[in-house]
């Protein structure tokens, strides 16, 4: 940390013994920090609201209010809760140290201590605080950028929707094309809303509009959007999902984020002229805790997923990108998003895969809440 950076940092020292304040103050002042002393807990609470220190060195044993109570009040106030507190005390019993951390302190230094140790810990916690502030600043910048992008993308899509209403098709082909453009524009707007929902989810503000959806209708929408990819590789879709199966999901994210991601991956990692099977396994109704769920299976016979990738495929901090069998590229970040949405529906996702020469392929298993009905026997259909 540079001398200029230290001059901008204020450290509040709280101790009821003047000699301790002088020693600590001299040590930290020599390092270039701005020092503010307080000789009681109540004085410290008054000062902290005026100077908003970057860090507090707090004695535990004081006559009017002990350090634990001072720290508790600091952490209970959102204006001061983020200030790191380091306890300085001669109390070394395990229960005292545990109590210090339970009240919200970031560190606990026992007396007597060396000046070198204290300075090292002070500098470390100031660095951590600076990194936290930088992360918060970057997150705010990212949210502002996403807000602008969503707004700017929504405007032209809305204009397309308006223009489509003015077109009068003269034949069946034009009517079909106009319908496709309108549907695509709607999907674009829905995806923008999904991005906004993801941002809200990260701040625990997302209120998903869960509803009962006919599973085959959702699959129809997804397969229609992926039709070009499916036909290009000559993939045969074998679907054995009964028409009366209804699942409890949020429609837009289920189609555009969950099914589209999973089916795109199945196509991507399938060989040409391959096969993808879509079916369900019903969990016996009335058998808690899973009696109101079913398993949707999407199985391909492609290259499979290595075990090391499966272990980290849902971790957004680890990129698991692989090229497809025909060189198709992707981001590697789709699966964490899929699991986030499926769990928001109250379900879960599992992967079964094999990369062996004789038995290869991947089965994605979605555990979804269902509307219970007698499940009719499904019929095989090709797409």
Q: Based on the fold, state whether residues 252 and 105 are members of the same structural domain.
A: no
How many domains are there within the chain? 3
Q: What is the pLDDT of residues 17-63, one digit of tens each?
A: 999 899 999 999 898 899 999 999 999 999 998 888 999 999 998 98
Q: Based on the fold, state whether residues 275 and 143 are members of the same structural domain.
A: no
Model pLDDT, residue 383: 47
- Any idea what the CATH number is for the domain that residue 370 is in? 3.30.565.10
Q: Based on the fold, state whether residues 195 and 215 are members of the same structural domain.
A: no
Judge whether residue 132 has pLDDT over 60: yes
Question: Is 31 domain-assigned?
Answer: yes
DSSP string, 286-306: T-TTSTTEEEEEEEE-SS---
Q: Which of 145, 168, 202 is the last residue of a domain?
A: 202
Question: Is 245 domain-assigned?
Answer: yes
- Residues 230, 383 contacting (CB under 8 angstroms): yes
More confident: 7 or 368: 368
Q: What is the pLDDT of residues 226-263, one digit of tens each?
A: 998 899 999 999 999 999 899 999 988 899 889 998 99
Which contiguous run of DSSP H or E holds residue 3? helix 3-7
Q: How confident is the model at residue 329 (pLDDT cuts 50, 70, 90)?
A: low
Single pTM value for the model: 0.53
More confident: 334 or 103: 103
Rounded mean pLDDT, 173-200: 78
Token duo for residue 377 = 């026997």
Question: Is 322 domain-assigned?
Answer: yes
Model pLDDT, residue 382: 47
Model pLDDT, residue 86: 94
Write out 322-348 in H/E/C secondary structure.
Answer: CCCCCCCCCCCCHHHHHHHHHHHCCCE
Q: Based on the fold, state whether residues 152 and 249 are members of the same structural domain.
A: no
Question: Is 307 domain-assigned?
Answer: yes
Model pLDDT, residue 219: 96
Q: Based on the fold, state whether residues 322 and 371 are members of the same structural domain.
A: yes
- Any idea what the CATH number is for the domain that residue 25 is in? 3.40.50.2300
The listed range with the strongest mean pLDDT (182-186, 264-268, 307-311) is: 264-268
Q: Where would I find the beta strands (DSSP E) of the chain?
A: 10-14, 34-38, 55-59, 85-89, 107-110, 211-214, 236-240, 246-249, 275-282, 293-300, 348-355, 360-371, 381-382
Residue 372 structural domain = 211-382
DSSP symbol at 357 = S
């Amino acid at each position: 940390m540079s001398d200029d950076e230290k001059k901008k940092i204020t450290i509040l020292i709280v101790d009821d013994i003047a000699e301790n304040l002088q020693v600590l103050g001299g040590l930290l002042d020599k390092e270039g920090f701005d020092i503010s002393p307080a000789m009681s807990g109540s004085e410290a609470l008054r000062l902290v609201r005026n100077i908003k220190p970057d860090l507090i060195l707090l004695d535990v044993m004081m006559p009017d209010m002990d350090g634990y109570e001072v720290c508790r009040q600091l952490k209970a106030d959102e204006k001061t809760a983020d200030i790191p507190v380091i306890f300085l005390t001669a109390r070394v019993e395990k229960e005292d140290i545990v109590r210090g951390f339970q009240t919200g302190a970031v560190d606990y230094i026992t007396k007597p201590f060396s000046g070198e140790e204290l300075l090292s810990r002070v500098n470390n916690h100031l660095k951590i605080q600076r990194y936290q502030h930088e992360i918060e600043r970057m997150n705010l910048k990212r949210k502002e950028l996403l807000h602008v992008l969503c707004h700017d993308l929504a405007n032209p899509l809305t204009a397309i929707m308006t223009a489509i209403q003015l077109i009068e098709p003269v034949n069946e082909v034009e009517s079909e094309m106009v319908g496709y453009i309108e549907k695509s524009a709607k999907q674009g707007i829905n995806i923008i809303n999904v991005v906004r929902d993801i941002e809200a989810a990260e701040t625990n503000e997302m209120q998903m509009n869960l509803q009962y959806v006919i599973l085959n209708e959702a699959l129809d929408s997804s397969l229609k959007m992926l039709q070009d990819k499916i036909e290009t590789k000559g993939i045969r879709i074998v679907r054995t999902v009964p028409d009366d199966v209804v699942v409890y999901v949020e429609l837009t994210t289920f189609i555009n984020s969950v099914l589209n991601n999973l089916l795109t991956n199945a196509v991507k990692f399938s060989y040409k002229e391959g096969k993808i099977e879509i079916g369900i396994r019903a969990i016996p109704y009335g058998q808690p805790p899973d009696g109101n769920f079913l398993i949707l299976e999407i199985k391909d016979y492609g290259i499979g997923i290595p075990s090391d990738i499966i272990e980290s495929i849902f971790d957004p901090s680890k990129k698991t990108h692989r090229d497809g069998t025909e060189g198709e590229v992707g981001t590697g970040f789709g699966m964490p998003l899929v699991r986030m949405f499926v769990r928001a529906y109250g379900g879960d996702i599992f992967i079964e895969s094999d990369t062996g020469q004789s038995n290869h392929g991947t089965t994605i298993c979605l555990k979804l809440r269902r509307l219970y009905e007698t499940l009719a026997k499904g019929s095989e259909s090709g797409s």
